[in-house]
Amino acid sequence: MARIATLDRADMDAEQGRVYDAAKGAGGPVGGPYTAYIQLPKLFEAAQNQRACLAAGPLSRREQQIVNLVVARHWNARYPWFAQVRGSLAVGIEQAVIDAINARKTPVLADAREKTCFVVASELLANKGLSDATYAAAEKTMGLRDLVALVATTGSFSMTCLTAGTFQIDPPAANPTPLAE
């Protein structure tokens, strides 16, 4: 059970209502961890903007999803995992890749950039940084601009996962691929 109640639109103050309506109108997320962010409307808005910036950035949707799966698995974030599994399947990531990440195993990824996204996100989270060898290989494969986006995506989605976990924001009961224990 969530530690934080979903704030009804009718109960929001003017600033909360403004940012909520803007996000909803733009098709941005308003549930999950945004249930907590709405308590600080400027944070809610900044999180929406950062999410949109990274989504429109240089990483492909598949690359973003791989990073997000790694991050959600690392933080044991059940709601983000649920949402990212749906998003991953929608962009064609195979169930076997999702299952491997869920089992904390290295998935089989033929694409060099996707594999680099998995390796970089995993190492950043496990070691709080990248070794010189991983950094050099990632910069060679991704290019500097895309590597910046990869690191930023890992950090940004970590905030999402930490928020969902702290406030115990859970996925719906009908969750086809629950986070492994």
What residue ranges do the domains of the chain occupy?
A: 9-55, 61-166
Q: Can you give the pLDDT at residue 167?
A: 95
Q: Can you give the pLDDT at residue 177?
A: 87
pTM: predicted TM-score of the whole model, two decimal places:
0.94
- Average confidence (pLDDT) over 100-125: 98
Q: How confident is the model at residue 2 (pLDDT cuts 50, 70, 90)?
A: confident
Q: Please state, in angstroms and rounded to a whole number, the distance separating the CA atoms of residues 83 and 175.
A: 10
**Mean pLDDT rounded to a whole number for the chain:** 95
CB-based burial, 19-48: b 16+ in 10 Å, e otherwise: bbeebeeeebbbebbbbbbbeebebbbebb
Residue 172 reports pLDDT greater than 90: no
Residue 25 reports pLDDT greater than 90: yes
pLDDT in tens, 55-109: 999 999 999 999 999 999 999 999 999 999 999 999 999 999 999 999 999 999 9
DSSP codes joined into one string, 113-126: HHHHHHHHHHHHHH
CATH code for the domain defined by 61-166: 1.20.1290.10
